[in-house]
């Protein structure tokens, strides 16, 4: 009588598991590059035609919120799509995301003069960056420095305020981008003492001193108590300044919006029964 023998395969070794992980990671990265290229390509195309109202969204902000992605990630993809608008979706998808970011620094005058797509696929990040710098330098006039993405962590409650203030500073001073606004704001404050920064530094110093004394000199209870009291006063001053800054910002926003709202209401009353200019001229841009 024949007997079927089932031989159990030995468990995979650590080396085999590592190779499998590496294959899966590389496959996922390749898929990510391709999907990000498609996202960048079509997001910029939609922005260029300003097609959000046709899709039922009043503006670009409401549209990207509906996608469930972060503001910075979405607008970064749009910027890359704009910088690579001379490439097809297929060409952009074949380029690694990090290398595609370098296209943001290519001068418009030379975008169509070189085989960027082929070079981005075959050259290393460093080689491609060097080519961009050398070719940008051949353009007469002021040279444009290669741009880079700055990613920093801030309190969630302060994020929108920071972005809004940078945007307002950019508009007020007619700057090219929020990044340039940030550069100027930091430069403006670098050589001057900032009250808020001083208070924050003092808070940390008092906190360190209080913790050190508590751990090493348990008998010095009165000194620890006084340090904690000084730290609490600094904490109170710090929070008051933060609250005042936010209140001033909100007041400024309300003052800016009030005349516009009043003008809109007056215009609606005068033009009752007639289509507005926006309604009459609405269309594709």
Helices 178-190 and 156-172: crossing angle, nearest 10°?
90
Which residue carries 């007020």 as its tokens?
172
What pLDDT was estimated at residue 69? 83
In the chain (285 residues long), the average pLDDT of successive 10-residue segments reads 57 82 91 90 92 90 86 85 87 87 84 86 88 84 62 83 83 76 72 58 73 70 73 74 68 60 49 40 34
What pLDDT was estimated at residue 154? 84
Quote the tokens at residue 75. Answer: 């607008």
Closest CA to 128 of 106, 107, 145, 157: 106
Q: How far is Cα 227 from Cα 20, in angstroms, rounded to an integer?
A: 56
What pLDDT was estimated at residue 163? 84
What pLDDT was estimated at residue 102? 87
137 within 8 A of 77, measured Cβ to Cβ: no
What pLDDT was estimated at residue 283? 36
Helices 156-172 and 221-270: crossing angle, nearest 10°?
50
Diameter of the chain measured on Cα atoms: 101
What pLDDT was estimated at residue 259? 55
Instruction: Write the CA distances from 41 to 48, 81, 85, 91, integer angstroms.
Output: 11, 5, 7, 10
| CB-based contacts of 172, cutoff 8 Å, min separation 6 | none
User: Which stretches within 195-220 are classed as H helix?
Assistant: 195-216
- Count H helices and E strands in the chain, helices first: 12, 0
What pLDDT was estimated at residue 121? 84
Q: How far is Cα 206 from Cα 229, in angstroms, rounded to an integer?
A: 10
């Amino acid at each position: 009588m024949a007997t079927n023998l089932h031989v159990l395969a030995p468990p995979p070794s650590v080396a085999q598991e590592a190779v499998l992980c590496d294959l899966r990671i590389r496959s996922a990265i390749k898929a990510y590059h391709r999907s990000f290229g498609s996202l960048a390509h079509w997001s910029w195309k939609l922005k260029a035609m300003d097609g959000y109202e046709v899709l039922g969204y009043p503006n670009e902000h409401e549209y990207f919120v509906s996608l469930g992605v972060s503001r910075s990630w979405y607008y970064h993809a749009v910027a890359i799509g704009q910088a690579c608008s001379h490439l097809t979706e297929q060409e952009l998808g074949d380029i690694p995301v990090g290398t595609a970011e370098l296209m943001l620094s290519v001068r418009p005058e030379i975008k169509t003069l070189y085989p960027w797509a082929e070079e981005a696929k075959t050259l290393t990040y460093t080689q491609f960056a060097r080519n961009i710098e050398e070719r940008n330098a051949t353009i007469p006039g002021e040279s444009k420095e290669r741009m880079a993405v700055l990613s920093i962590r801030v309190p969630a409650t302060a994020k929108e305020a920071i972005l809004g203030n940078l945007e307002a500073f950019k508009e007020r001073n007619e700057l090219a981008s929020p990044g340039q606004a940030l550069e100027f704001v930091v430069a403006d404050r670098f050589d001057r003492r900032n009250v808020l920064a001083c208070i924050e530094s003092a808070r940390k110093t008092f906190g360190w001193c209080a913790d050190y004394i508590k751990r090493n000199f348990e008998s010095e209870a009165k000194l620890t108590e006084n340090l904690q009291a000084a730290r609490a006063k600094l904490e109170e001053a710090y929070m008051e300044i933060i609250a005042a800054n936010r209140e001033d910002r909100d007041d400024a926003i309300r003052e800016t919006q009030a005349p516009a709202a009043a003008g809109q209401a007056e215009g609606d009353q005068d033009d009752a029964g007639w289509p507005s200019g926006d309604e009459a001229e609405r269309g594709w841009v």
